Amino acid sequence: MRGFSNLLSSLLAKSGPGRVTLEIDLDRGVLRAAPENPLEALRAINAPTITGLTTALREAVSDERVAGLVVHVGTCPLSATLVDEVGAAIRQFGQHKPTVAYAETFGELTSGMFAYRLATAASTIWLQPSGGVVLSGVHVDMVLLRGGLEKLGMDPQFSQRKEYKTAAESYSAAAVSDANREMSGRLAESIVEETIAIISERRGLTADVVRELVDRGPIGAEEARTLGLVDHLGYRDDVYQDVKSTWGNDATLQYASRYIGSIAARAMSRLATKPSVAVVSVRGGIVSGRPVRSPLGGQQAGSEIVLEHLRHARMDDNVKAVVLAVDSPGGSYIASDTIRAGVLELKKAGKPVVAAMGDVAASGGYFVAMGANEIVANPSTLTGSIGVFAGKIVNQGLYDKLGLVREDVQSGRLADMFAANRGFTDDQWKILDAWLDQVYEDFTTKAAADRGMAIEDLEPLARGRVWTGSDAKERRLIDHLGGRDVAVERACALAGLDREKVAVRPVPLLGLLERLQPAQSSERPGGLDAVGGGFGPGRLLKAVAVELGLSEPGVLTMPYRLWIS
């Protein structure tokens, strides 16, 4: 096997180009995970995954053919956490080889803070002469739906645990609460503080100077160069001409995601029998069972599918540790607890689990992660939201407005408790509140146990409050700041593995033929069901509802609409 791997590596190396300058074009976007349906794959054909990108840059460090890296920041349509992960990969590569970032502008009246934050990961920054730098901070948009629902004749009835669990407020409150305003304000300030610290360190400016620049508004290109925010002014051709004259005219351009070295490394990893770190994903709203993937590109994490993948990793002797990749605002309490139990079983089997939080891992997303040996989150990750809410929207008024006749019958005293044509009775409110108290107590008790904290220390950090990754680390809700690479490194360390001799692979790792075959058992993923099942008319309508945010959100869900820009 070793001889075949060496032969394969040699053939791939010879078939590739000579010296190359790697490129990243962020205008094309970066995917958190590989597309899971053909339509999505076609739309994202030129968008690399964050894992593929970081792996390629990691491999390219030791390749003498690679001259350096050029990053076109462009409009940078990336989330704050992807900005951090791409930036970390660029920084790591830049410790060994030259890196250049360029942009037409960092914001055009609107904020370019995240784009500029990413650009500072490169050792040299170019800016178009007509462009500028706009570091105008962070805007958080809180949307309350009650007024619109009432105009439609709908009455939202919800209860929450506790004051910061503003998902319930999003439906039922007539005004933004002080708790919501405080929490959202702190989220914005935490991200700005982190950005100021990053820019200060990387560009050699004081924090006070950067804070002043954040509040100044647009800064022209010439002044940006004078202030030390950028190094050179020029257009794209100027950037590439300078790179060629500095790094060598013989180096051809190649997208980092197409880098041949990483392809060879991945091919050898799959052929050779190597200890592995398995990556199990929890993406989208957490629901029970085996949900369908939305044809519109939305995601749901079915507890049965995730649990199946965890069991598969547990039974695979070649898997020595697991990274639980969580990118979820939460959802079902029962489904979240099911997934957490699967994580605990992996730990019992002696396989360390490290949770890697993406853009958001809050409420149920935190629930599934908290049982891991360690938790890694990006500074801008939204996490926490240890709380619960439940209720319903009474829509009888809408039926009345439309002149529709509606009548129902029932058998059982509480059969109509969640019927949408009538409000909760006093008795039903008592039942709902008792259940919310029970779920909140279970959530906080398990969180305290998982994090090794006394309940009296954990509970004040709960109460439904959302934290950034930076603030969560200070409060011991997570262990490390970083992205997927940091999580893999921590998994290797906990399992006593050499990071350079470990294969990192997703679960399930299925080829095309395997995807077309039925699964042999619940412990052996197979067929299309491994990535979410097929479609029928009813399931298609449900997928559309999920995409529009109209379906049941689940009791462990973070605030309904909290936009950060």
The fraction of the chain above a pLDDT of 70, given in percent, is 81
Average pLDDT, the chain: 84
Per-residue pLDDT, 232: 97
Residue in this structure with the two tokens 């869900």, named with its chain if needed: 557
Give the E-state strand segments of 174-284 in sequence order.
219-220, 232-233, 252-255, 276-283
533, pLDDT greater than 50: no
**Tens-digit pLDDT profile for residues 161-214:** 889 888 888 888 889 999 999 999 999 999 999 999 999 999 999 999 999 999
**How would residue 295 be classed by pLDDT, with cut points 50, 70 and 90?**
very low
What does the pLDDT average to over 475-486? 96
248, pLDDT greater than 90: no
352, pLDDT greater than 90: yes
Per-residue pLDDT, 460: 96
* 553 vs 104: which has the higher pLDDT: 104
Which residues 6+ apart lie within 8 Å of 16 measured at CB? Answer: 65, 260, 261
Q: Which domains does the chain have, with CATH numbers?
A: 2-136+217-262 (3.90.226.10), 273-564 (3.90.226.10)
**How would residue 36 be classed by pLDDT, with cut points 50, 70 and 90?**
low
**How would residue 496 be classed by pLDDT, with cut points 50, 70 and 90?**
very high
Q: Where are the alpha helices (DSSP H) in 142-177?
A: 146-151, 166-172
**Tens-digit pLDDT profile for residues 22-34:** 999 998 888 887 7
286, pLDDT greater than 80: yes
Dist CA 285 CA 543 (whole Å): 12
User: The pTM is what?
Assistant: 0.85
Per-residue pLDDT, 418: 87
Which residues 6+ apart lie within 8 Å of 154 measured at CB? Answer: 393, 394, 395, 397, 398
What does the pLDDT average to over 488-495? 97
Q: Could you give the count of Cα atoms lying within 13 Å of 211 in the half-sphere of its Cβ? A: 8
